Structure formats: C-alpha cells, structure tokens
Amino acid sequence: MVKPCWKPSVEGDGGVGRGGDTRGRVDGLMWYKDLGVHVNGEFSMAIIQANSLMEDQSRLESGPLSSLESGPYGTFVGVYDGHGGPETSCFINKTLFSNLKKFATEHQEISADVIKKAFLKTDEEFLSLVKQQWFEKPQLASVGSCCLVGVICNGLLYIANAGDSRVVLGRAEKTSRGVTAIQLSVEHNANNESVRDELRSLHPQDSQIVRLKHNVWRVKGIIQVSKSIGDAYLKRAEFNQAPLYAKFRLPESFSKPILSAEPSIFIHRLTSKDQFLIFGSDGLWEHLSNQEAVDIVNNQPRNGIAQRLIKAALRVAAKKREMRYSDLKKIDRGVRRHFHDDISVVVVFLDPYSMNRSSSHIPKLSIRGGGMPASPKR
C-alpha cells in the first residue's frame, strides 16, 4: 500500500558543519536544511506545510548519477508538488531518482532522453500501482503530482518539468550591479493561453477539453495542470468510472490520455555569470515574483536562505488577507491551506571552480525534504 511519508532524511557527508545540522531541523510546520554542500557548490532547502497531510516533497542528490564507477557525477534536484493527496509525490520522491540512475547506467550518460525516460517510467509504475489497488483504494486514481527536476552534470544544466512548479536562474549581468532573474522552466497550467491552445490542438474533437470555471481555466473543468505524474483517472479510461468519486468522473469515455507525464526539457551550459538556481513549488511563486525571489537570495546570507524565501512568501500571503505574519504562524495545518499552499524551496548555489572537480573529491549526499527515509545507496 502507498502510505503518507513524513520523516525527512539525510545521508552522506555533504552537510557536516554547514549550518550546524546534518539531518535538517523542524520548527513547527517548517522543515529546513539551512546549508549543505553539493558537487557544484552549496545548497539550502526548506518546506512549509499547509495541508492536513504534507503534499509537497523534495530531494537533492550529490555524487554518482549512475551505478557506474566511471560516472556520470553531478547534482540532482527534485521538487514534487502533490495534489489530491500525498501518495504520488511520496512515490516520486522514492522512485524517480532510482529510475534516472537506471537509465543513466544503461546509456552511460545523462541526457534529455535519460531524464524523459525516468519521468515516463515513474508515471508508468505509479499507474500500475493504481491498477493493483483499484478495488481497495480506487481514489488513488485521482491523486497526482507536478514534477520539477534539475540535473547538473559536466557543466550542463538539464531542467525537466511536468506541471506548474518553477525554477529561476540568478545571473550576474555586466550591465547592472544586481542579479537578473531568468525563468528556465516551462509551466503546464491551463491558465496559460499557450497551454490551452496546445490542448485544443491535441484534442480537436473535444470542445470541452478546457473550461473556465469560477474564473479559473481547468482541463475538463477539473484540474489546472496539463502535465503530471499520476492522475490516472485522466490518463486511462479504465480508472474514470465507479467506484471513483463522481466529481472526478467524466460524462464520456476517452481513448487518448488527457494529461501527459512527458516533461518539457531545457538544456543550458552554465557560465561564470550563473550564480544560483531557485527551485520552488507554485506556492512560492503565487506570492513572490521571479525577481523578488532572486533579490532576496542575492542580498542575504546563504545560510538559511530557503527558509527566508518561504517566510517572505508567507508575509505576502498574510498581507493579502490583512493579517499579521505572527498571527498566520499560529494557524494549524489544514486550516492553513486557506491562506497558502504547501511550499517547497531548494536554492542551489553554483561554484564555477567545482564544475570540473574530480569524482574522488565529490561530497556524496542524499537528502529528502518532507519525505520518507532514504533507502540504502545503490
């Protein structure tokens, strides 16, 4: 059975002496790892819970990206924003990196194709789990997760996204004293006109493929994202029937998957101008602009920066509701969801001198924020 996952975990030696915490810390509804070391620099992670059950998950891996001694080596970052429950995001946090290592071993490299295969395999495995548990837990078919992944390897940055999480690059420009925000991910949300156009072109016979409901565009009037892991009820018609709850069932059957797990992939060669990356679930970007987030990271100390980004977003959320941040902090999970979503943040600093570091000097680290205990390293 798929069970909710709670305990964060850290393995390896990449966090010792950084911020005084080797396993991350918990403060109320916040989990955080203030500062650690990865292959290509330093990092900071944090998650705040708003839902009754934590639906956000995140992961950072530093070191081997395959099972081969020859490599490749690098840094893997994953942010998984679940919806409908925690099961899919937990499953991704447990499974996706292992699938990526498997395909990287087979291909003996990291590539866009390897990452795409890891996404599709993870989705296939989750849908198989839904099939196995259909009669015991049919509502698992309505659970899904956005999936944002970044891989740094051999001086290249690979960004893969399915859903509406976001990664923003902070780049130093000669023409300005500050750091410019550059969004690297493509978001698959029906509120974007380009996404609606794509869905209509993929489903020309379906006039209701996107519907405006309560001033929000939704796929089939149900869900905002057009790409995800899970959401079996919109990928296979066999799961869009009783005993699934009526609110998820469509009035007509379908032969072609409505949602897709295939990610949009962007590849960027890192330069000395590239300072840091901010990976965040949509709960962060609902309250902070790209440039606001980049300015916070650029102008404040690295230690604890992921926490500070979340707190900045919460202050905006409180202000929108005409309340004090101190009062918002007193609201418990569940009720808290009326004020903000679960928020995951991973800030990855880029050290140009570490890009060609030999594998023998690479700090090996495995850390899961908001997640389940990590399995032994392969």
Give 331's Cβ-side CA count (13 Å radius). 22
For the cut 80, the answer to whether the pLDDT of residue 285 exceeds it is yes
* C-alpha span between 22 and 16 (Å, rounded): 5
pLDDT at position 101, please?
97
pLDDT reading at 13 higher than 50: no
Closest CA to 169 of 69, 62, 280, 89: 280
What pLDDT digit, counting tens, does each position of 186-241 carry? 999 999 999 999 999 999 999 999 999 999 999 999 999 999 999 999 999 999 99
Query: Quick check: helix, strand or coil at residue 373?
Result: coil
At 361, the pLDDT band (50, 70, 90 cuts) reads: low
CB 45 within 8 A of CB 33: yes
| Cα separation, 366 vs 374, whole angstroms | 8
The confidence score (pLDDT) of residue 338 equals 86
pLDDT per residue as tens digits for the range 66-114: 999 888 999 999 999 999 999 999 999 999 999 999 999 999 999 999 9
Mean pLDDT of the region 340-360: 79
- How many Cα atoms within 13 Å fall on the side-chain side of residue 90? 20
pTM above 0.85, yes or no: yes
Cα–Cα–Cα angle for 234, 236, 240, rounded to 5 degrees: 65
